[in-house]
Structure 1
């Protein structure tokens, strides 16, 4: 259950203290199936599996939650084709033009007939709450999906003032400096991919490097030409690799052999014990990484008035 991407929010110690009733709050917001005329539903499912009952799973001060969703698959092309067929039938049989109001009514009729027969696509977003350090960590690189996850928590809790990251150091400038001069913070080393852009124009040149020596003269020439780093592949302490974006989203997160060897050292008796081990190992590694990320870019935990 290792996360593959990280979108981050922060919250204060006061907010953390108010999370003691999380289990009960989520209970009233379980995922239910789409009704016949619903396009989508959203709610919480058990992180232990959709057939399990508990909606949270905690190891120490960190709590795993899962936001589930069901969405009807009804392509616009299908709706439009059926609508056009009905409009054409009226024109041919009644010899009159269909106005805007009638067109809208006909389209709703089409939706009402097709929705109950549409396929349902389930999805799930995992997240964990670190009450001790004030992090909400969502396993997605999509800002839209992350905001939807935070909104689901706010709806369940009534209030959850977790805020997006507001770095004191500009990520683009700092990463560009790391790549240009090769002087990275202790424990951090360059990976093998990056994305460079010319920030002067909205349609400026974009250079994407993969499986590339980032200390090469070719990359340095792009930087001398005024391009800046928008994404940078990095490795932390030889244990975690990722691609860090200027939005401070961590993509392509991967735990390296040293971490995986620790996980495989002991056998577990059950699937739940395996989940506990993976979750504990992942969150301990990320605790170290996020503490350094906070130090590099200036990401203080919000005060109790947040």
Structure 2
């Protein structure tokens, strides 16, 4: 269910709006495929899949949503070629040698409108998990930009819930120690934080214009060479780790996790207890349960969270609606 995770912190006084009202707001913003000349369409889809029409799923106290984005990407080269044809035709018809930027802009818009219906659509969906117990928003995205867009759409939906009020804040989690700095310390000292182990994949990059990069894949990292790279100034940007022998993942220098994988000790329990009819509730309960414990441990390993008034710069806050 979650292959990646970007974390957002919501304030302690966040209150979920009535779920039936939120479901109604989601239905009003449900996904519709792109029209013939529409470059992008965004909307909510059933987390359980096409067999369901429910857009808000709850598993225990956890709330699961899914945002779908469909795009009609038109290659820039195709637009350029179409504009050039229109420019040449315009010159022949008018006898002019030069074409103003305003007319070129109009040609570009016309070219896009003519090419869009012929472009193939690309569709992707992203799962969003609201954890009202631990006060987290977790987005299944390894890109903060992509995750922020999902949260932005959630903000829009919550603002449409009758009786809602603004003022509850959600922002990307900030830690006392930067993830890149912490990973460098763990690798240089060959000592992982409590409840974690360092695995066999790593990427180190020089933070300069050249950005020279060294990657290790399925290779022991407890070697002098890794420490020497760090001493020379290279910063870890990705590091494979395992938490409590239960979940493996890759930590990035932006404090996001990718390539999340539940290990056998977790999956064996699922096989013993069985799944529900479509497996959704079981999968959601297991994944959110594991991440609910992993995330606080990871943040503690990174020195803990900075408060809203922390010294480090804070990302722009998102306003969520509360009942």
TM-score scaled by structure 2?
0.85
Q: Which moved more, 1:124-133 or 1:165-174?
A: 165-174
RMSD: 2.2
Match of residue 222, structure 1, among 220, 229, 240 = 229
Aligned residue for 1:299? 305
CA contact (8 A) 1:16 1:132 kept: no
CA distance in 2 between counterparts of 1:22 and 1:300 reads 31
CA contact (8 A) 2:194 2:301 kept: no
Aligned residue for 1:61? 61
Secondary structure, in 3 states, of the residue corresponding to 1:108? helix
CA distance in 2 between counterparts of 1:122 and 1:197 reads 32
Aligned residue for 2:175? 167
CA distance in 2 between counterparts of 1:194 and 1:171 reads 13
1:99-126 C-alpha deviation (Å, 9 max, x unpaired)? 2222222222222223233322221111
* Superposition map of 1:34-45 within 5 A: 34-45=34-45
The change in CA–CA distance for 1:295 and 1:161 in structure 2 (over 3 A counts) is same
CA distance in 2 between counterparts of 1:115 and 1:170 reads 43
CA distance in 2 between counterparts of 1:44 and 1:212 reads 42
1:250-273 C-alpha deviation (Å, 9 max, x unpaired)? 0111111111212222443521xx
* Superposition map of 1:24-103 within 5 A: 24-50=24-50, 52-97=52-97, 98-103=99-104
Q: Which stretches in structure 1 are left out of the alignment for 5+ residues?
A: none
CA distance in 1 between counterparts of 2:280 and 2:308 reads 31
Higher relative helix content: 1
* CA drift at 1:191: 0.6
Aligned residue for 1:270? 277
CA distance in 1 between counterparts of 2:306 and 2:132 reads 15
CA distance in 1 between counterparts of 2:25 and 2:306 reads 28
* Superposition map of 1:180-199 within 5 A: 180-199=188-207
1:265-285 C-alpha deviation (Å, 9 max, x unpaired)? 2443521xx111111011111
Corresponding position: 1:288 with 2:299: no
Q: Which stretches in structure 2 are left out of the alignment for 5+ residues?
A: 160-165, 310-318
The change in CA–CA distance for 1:236 and 1:88 in structure 2 (over 3 A counts) is same
CA contact (8 A) 2:206 2:235 kept: yes
Secondary structure, in 3 states, of the residue corresponding to 1:119? coil
Secondary structure, in 3 states, of the residue corresponding to 1:241? strand
CA contact (8 A) 1:65 1:128 kept: yes
Secondary structure, in 3 states, of the residue corresponding to 1:265? helix
The change in CA–CA distance for 1:78 and 1:293 in structure 2 (over 3 A counts) is same
Secondary structure, in 3 states, of the residue corresponding to 1:203? coil
